Structure formats: structure tokens, C-alpha cells
Amino acid sequence: MNINVKYFGMIAEAAGKTEEVLELEGNPSLGELKDRQVKKYAIKDPQSVQLAVNQNLNTQVELQDGDEVAFLPPFAGG
């Protein structure tokens, strides 16, 4: 399945990009996707990284083809 991945802040900096489309095999879980990208881009402090699926922080979802998954570092608004 194809997942549209978005990166923000220090994660975009680590990845060297703000988005990409990943073709994933074998229905990986959201946790597996996170681990994979954390390793690939050497993302620091991974426990501070939240994932949003289709703009929703609830991570108890199964990935579906076409989902938008955002890698969000700690919020710093204001």
C-alpha cells in the first residue's frame, strides 16, 4: 500500500524532506512504520515524536492505502 508521509520541524531536517510516498509491503503497523523511519533518518528522541494518521493523533488505527501519516516533533507554538 501507498502511504503519504509528512515530516515537520527537526524531523524534516533529519529526513532532508518534508514529504514522501512510501510503498509498504505486508501491512505494517503504525509503530513499525515509525521505527523504520526513525532508524532510516536517525531521528533523535523518538519517544517525543507523535504520529498523526489523517490528522488524527489516535494511533490505535490500522494503516490503509492512501493514508497521510505525519511525523510530529514536540509542539512549540506561541
Contact positions vs other proteins (CB under 8 A): 6, 8-10, 12-13, 48, 52, 55, 70, 72-78
Residue 60 beta carbon to other proteins: minimum distance, rounded to whole angstroms: 18
Phi-psi region of 37 (alpha: psi -120 to 50; beta: other; left: phi over 0): alpha
Q: Which of 26/78 has CB closer to other proteins? A: 78
Residue 70 beta carbon to other proteins: minimum distance, rounded to whole angstroms: 6
Residue 2 beta carbon to other proteins: minimum distance, rounded to whole angstroms: 19
Q: Taking the mean position of all CA atoms in its chain, how far away is CA 6? A: 6
Residue 47, φ and ψ in degrees, nearest 5: -70, -15
- Name the DSSP class of 29: -
